[in-house]
Amino acid sequence: MSGWSEGKIARAIALQTLAKKCVVLVDRCNWTGHECDVLAVTTDLRIIDVEVKISRADFKADAKKDKWWHRMTWGEPGPRQHRPWPPKVWKHYVAMPRDLWDDALFAFMPSPASGLLLVREHRGRVEVNCHRRATPNRDADRISAEQAVDIARLANLRMWDAYAARERTEVPA
């Protein structure tokens, strides 16, 4: 297996799978109230959440995250109910290297509604394959124009932060 990183996988997903269907993409975003490795806003203002995994252990641990559980009583320990989708999310995907996947891992998917994107390197480039499509959450509301602008502002600020980080690592000529 090559040197996979969350950034390398997220970039391939963003550019190959989501770019044509989405108006904005943000990495490492908590806008929904829970962490998303890639948060995408579709052209019809719906949220797609992509979780990027680079190990089987990381993948198996994902279903335990709070975003998949609803507490039945507020502020107290007690019974929890599993959510088929994270809050505010229309579609949820897991993305991971194809070399790590085998279909027995479907038992560990965070939800039966989650889709699966597998990546591999082929002829020097990263390829993305949709192994299972996500089931849409028909109850997920579209976001407002104001919310979409808020997410776009966040994406814009992240871009400038990325430029600054790259400048810090560049070797002067």
Q: Are 140 and 133 in contact (CB under 8 A)?
A: no
Question: Quick one: residue 94, left, alpha or beta (phi over 0 = left, psi -120 to 50 = alpha)?
Answer: beta
Q: What is the mean pLDDT of residues 32-53?
A: 94
Which of the 8 DSSP states describes residue 43? T
What's the pLDDT tens digit per position in 68-114? 887 666 666 667 788 899 999 999 999 999 999 999 999 999 999 99
pLDDT at site 173: 66
